[in-house]
Amino acid sequence: MVAARQTVAREMKARGTSTIRVTRFATAVSEIARNAIVHGDGGEISICIDARKEYLLVECRDRGRGIGDVEQAMIEGFTTAGGLGRGLGGARRLSHGFEIVTAPGEGTLVRMSAKL
């Protein structure tokens, strides 16, 4: 989780992205990585830059049980683990692009992007 956050911040800063945008997206990535650890039995994160060098792209894939109802999970305050319920919705708000692909028993893939 920390490594993902630090990598995102380093890559965005190296390309001159504003501090506020760096902080916002690093927070979003940190939250999604945390979700993969807590809810998804761990996972993998890949970080790259698009071909035009306009966006930082992040994919986080876990091996958990999947999200039963993505729309409900995105609602502010919804939680399955007793937290504040701001994770997924907050990460979406802090990203330029955000997509969830999930299936019961197959885990979850979250794709996120931030403009550089």
Q: What is the pLDDT of residues 5-59, one digit of tens each?
A: 999 999 999 999 999 999 999 999 999 999 999 889 899 999 999 999 999 999 9
Q: How many domains would you assign to the chain?
A: 1
Count of CB atoms situated within 10 Å of the CB of 104? 9
For residue 13, the number of C-alpha atoms closer than 13 Å in the C-beta half-sphere is: 9
Range(s) of the domain holding residue 48: 2-115
CA 33 to chain CA centroid, nearest Å: 6
Q: Which residues contact 82 (CB under 8 A, 6 or more apart)?
A: none
pLDDT single digits (tens) 53-111: 999 999 999 999 998 888 888 877 656 655 544 679 889 999 999 999 999 889 999 99
CA distances from 52 to 48, 57, 63 (A): 12, 12, 31
Q: Give the helix ranges, DSSP H, for 1-116.
A: 2-14, 19-39, 70-73, 87-93
Question: d(Cα 66, Cα 86) in Å, to the nearest integer?
Answer: 18
pTM: 0.89
CATH classification at residue 104: 3.30.565.10
Both tokens assigned to 63: 């091996």
